[in-house]
Structure 1
Amino acid sequence: MCICAHECSSAATIPIGLRRRHSMGRLKKLEVAHRPLTSTEVYNQVKGIETFIGKPTSEVDRPTGLWNKQSIFWKLPYWKDLKVKNCLDVMHIEKNVCEAILATLMNIPGKTKDVKASRLYLEKQGLRPELWAQKRDGRKKKIVEERVDDETHKSKNKVEDSEKNYLPPACYTISRAEKRIFCESLYGIKVPTGYSSNMKRFVTLNGELKLSSMKSHDCHVMIQVFLLIAIRGILPKHVRHTIKELCSFFHTICSKVQESSTLDSLQARVVETLCKFEMYSPPAFFDIMVHLIVHIVREIKLCGLVFLRWCYPFERFMGTLKDKVSNNKMDLHVGITS
């Protein structure tokens, strides 16, 4: 779980009432956006930092501050003059954000962001008390597990006490009937040949309703086209419109024509959209991939359009090379990089 820093990544014109502190009973005002550090300023901060190999043995050896080591790339003579040290991979950002949204809406076990830890974090921060985990009435249930010790060859009983908690439904929670409507909408989609994969391959209608085995391009088409069709009528209006704004952002940055005069307004809108996600989504939703959305527009200004820099051509070429490899057990990515 990462700290949501996108609320200070926009100009001061963002409405103040986007984030409400329920614990304080007042609104939290937003500050002016921080200026990105220049390469010289970053180098002055990392210069002279000692790099320790392995885990620190004591707190004295643990580095303090924002940086914990100096990268070897700073030895390159031109590294200080680069405004962008590494390009963001929009392909994988789009894929991970799409999977996080789908897993949270469908409540897929092991992938959903709406877990008990998120509800406990809200309770610890004093936010959104209607979503706090509630303890069910009844005695604790003992789980007894018998195992055999490898050394003594004697059976040992492992007893754990667990107490189930009830997670109240949130605005993004959908019922099983709505899940079936969502999956049936995706299952019935038909597209022209070569447009995308067949959605029937990823939808499970029998038994557990879920989506699985989606590749990067499948998530690309899902978040830009199919998701907007499937969520109609099954989510509250404010949640549905927030997801629509994020899908519209990805559709805009992936276009082949981009007006430079609209980039500033695009940046302000995506920051406002992420603030709305913070109001409605669980805290665990905001991992590093969601945070990187804030920096995409700035990188477009410096490096150009997204479709000229993403990894789809390289992934296609990897598939071409993989067909020519006779050894199926060989990892093609490792062979090329080595």
Structure 2
Amino acid sequence: MIKFVNVSKKYSDGTEAIKGIDIEIPEGKLVALIGPSGCGKTTTMKMINKLITPTKGTIFINGEDITAKNEVELRRNIGYVIQRIGLLPHMTIEENISLVPRLKGWKKEEYQSRVNELLELVGLEPDTFKKRYPLELSGGQQQRVGVVRALAAEPPIILMDEPFSALDPISREQLQDELKALQKKIHKTIVFVTHDMDEALKIADEIVIMRDGKIEQIATPEQLLQNPANDFVHTFIGEDRINKGNSNRHVMDIMISLNESDLLEKELPTISWESTITEAAKQLIQKKVDKIAVVKNKEIVGTITKEEVLHFVAGIRREEESSC
């Protein structure tokens, strides 16, 4: 869907914010851009809707070079959610959400129906909230409106620039959960800038780690936790997260293939193939057994032994000791 080819950005004072990056952002995926302050993540995101123009290189959307595209038309087809929410204070919630659809010429009944649908999607009762003004809502409610306003005209792409960072921890976690649930329904291409690694690991399908205008690694959260590309990525993620991520890996990672003797053990306790290794360890201890069966689609596909779990944990500890 979105492709960066050798894209750089150099400012007139000589600052090189982006240094020849290549990124492919798949359609329908949520991709988080993360890195230290000044690494270029926000600059990268803003080049997608031409708020910032690359010095060199090309950005494609659906195979089309955006260089010659009209900026206004481009932005009307890209949702944008910012940290400061950006709701217009003199407009009602309904007017804020319906702004882009109205600019695109939607009929009144169409955009009114869309407003109701979107408010319900984020748990805000339309009859209660749509005639209110932004300052009559809490910070969390305003940010929910900011998110659905970006969805109002049904854009295929949504850019989110640290949208939850100004919220209290409880509201922030709720909105992260809501965004994950929402994405499962709408399957938009979302580029999400954050400085919070826990947030990126929680919500993203893929994570782009940046430093000094370059890309250090692009990977899924699981791949990052299991195989950091270098010392910088390892340190940036943090030892605690990597160890926790390893303990939360699925039992399929250490499962032993099924053999005939396993099938004869009819009383063997079972565990789902989607369970974590930590859950498998608890099962082994609680059941006081040396082996449990792994079940997928109601069929036994392999086994997990106490020995394998201990071997796995010992491997993590050796990695911890070697990094000290």
TM-score by length of 1: 0.26
- Higher RCO (C-alpha 8 Å, min separation 6): 1
